[in-house]
Amino acid sequence: MSNLVFRFATVSGQNIHWFLKRNCSVTPAQLGWMYASICVVSLAIATFFWAQGATLVLGFAWLELAAVGTAFLVYARHASDGERISLQGTQLVVELENGGHLERAEFRREWVRIEPKTGDRSLIEVSGQGRSVEVGRYVSPELRSALAREIRMALRSA
C-alpha cells in the first residue's frame, strides 16, 4: 500500500482517508466579522437619516439586517459540510456531514461496491451488506470517476 499514489486521499500508517469538503471562500468567523461591520455601517446611516426626520429608514434597516443575518446563518451552518471516507483495516467508513447532522456507515472491505449511481458524472454509490451511501458531492462531476477508481484501487490493495 505504501507505493500507491493517491490524488484525493492521504495515507496515515495503514489507513487511507479521503476528506471531501465544500469549497467555501469565507469561514464562519470571517462571516461574523463581515456581518458586524455591515450592521455598524447600515445602522449608522439609518440613524443619521432617522435623526433628519426619515423615521421609517431605521425600521427598514433592521429588517434588512435580519434578512441578511438569516442568509448568513444558513451559509455558516453548511460551511463545514463534507464527506469523510476512511479505509481502516477491514472497514470502509463513510461519514457525511450536512448542516451539523452526521451520518455514518461502515462497510466490510471485501463486500463493498463502489459504482456510479447512474452514469460516469453522477454521484458515487458505496454499497454493501444491504446499505448504500452516495458520495462525491464536493468533487466536480468530471473527477468523480477518478475518485471511484482510486477508492476501488485502495480497497483491492488493502
pLDDT tens column, 99-122: 889 999 999 999 999 998 777 678
* Percent of residues in the chain assigned helix, strand, coil, to nearest 5: 40, 30, 25
pTM, to two decimals: 0.75
Q: 43-57, 59-73, 104-118: lowest mean pLDDT where?
A: 104-118
Domain boundaries, the chain: 9-22+81-157, 28-78
| pLDDT band (50, 70, 90) for residue 158 | low
Whole-number CA gyration radius for the chain: 23
- Name the nearest CA neighbour of 97 among 138, 64, 154: 138
Tell me, which fold does domain 9-22+81-157 have in CATH?
PH-domain like (2.30.29)
Say if residues 135 and 113 touch (Cβ distance below 8 Å). Answer: no
- Residues 41-58 have a mean pLDDT of 96
pLDDT of residue 116: 83
pLDDT confidence of residue 41: 97
Task: Report the share of the chain in percent with pLDDT over 70.
Answer: 97
* Largest separation between any pair of C-alpha atoms in the chain: 75
Angle, alpha carbons 6-127-20 (nearest 5°): 40
What is the reported pLDDT for 157?
A: 85
Residue 42, pLDDT > 70, answer yes
C-alpha cell at 20: 471531501
